Structure 1
Amino acid sequence: MTKKVVVENNLEEVRVYLGEKGYDVRTMYRNDTLQDITSDNYEAIIVSDLNNMNLSQGLKAKASIVEAAGLTPEQIYQIIHNKVRF
């Protein structure tokens, strides 16, 4: 089973790093919202800043949301890896 994540488009280093670690990375663009992500196949959704995301309608997927602000790609990988435990 392929590990899948969604990463905000401005987090290029994170997208590349997770791709190198074997993740299937979907890009979320600025005009997308978390509510547009409806698949439960994603382990995590990585965003640059939760304050800029509209969470008022609720997330439809069961993925964890990781705020990347102040974190390195390696730290984000560890957060995801420790939560999911492949």
Structure 2
Amino acid sequence: MARIAVEQSLQSVKQYLQSKGHDVVDLNQNTQADAFVITGQDKDVMGMQDVTTKSTVINAKGLTPEEVYQMISNHLS
């Protein structure tokens, strides 16, 4: 399964993704992951403005944990 970094405030999303078998870690500046799930509240969530990644970044604002899971599944398949 995929390694997914989840912003700390999204505990319900983190728990749901773990229940689906994903390796879920907290999001921080040094996190390596296949996908990142953020709230969209912080424009510069990683603390660096020049960060680029080939990983999927999902803004979970307004989404259910199931919808986040579906988006991750679509992007990583």
Q: Which TM-score tier does this pair reach, normalised by the shorter chain? A: 0.7 to 0.9
The count of residues paired between Structure 1 and Structure 2 equals: 74
Give 1 or 2: higher helix fraction.
Answer: 1
Q: State the partner residue of 1:73.
A: 65
**CA deviation after TM superposition for structure 1 residue 53, in Å:** 3.5
Q: How does 1:46-85 map to 2 (within 5 A)?
A: 46-49=37-40, 51-54=41-44, 56-59=49-52, 61-85=53-77
Q: Aligned residues: percent identity?
A: 30
TM-score (norm 1): 0.75
Distance 2:2 2:25 in 1: 11
CA deviations over 1:30-77 (Å, ceiling 9, x no partner): xx34xx33x3xx22100011x513262123x42111000000000000
Q: How does 1:1-86 map to 2 (within 5 A)?
A: 2-28=1-27, 32-33=28-29, 36-37=30-31, 39=32, 42-49=33-40, 51-54=41-44, 56-59=49-52, 61-85=53-77
Is the contact made by 1:43 and 1:80 (CA closer than 8 Å) also made in structure 2? no
Distance 1:22 1:9 in 2: 19
**CA deviation after TM superposition for structure 1 residue 3, in Å:** 1.6
> Segments of 4+ in structure 1 off by > 3 A?
none
Question: Secondary structure of 1:62's partner?
Answer: coil
Please, which runs of 5 or more residues in structure 2 have no aligned partner?
A: none
Tell me the C-alpha RMSD between the 2 structures: 1.6
Distance 1:78 1:68 in 2: 12
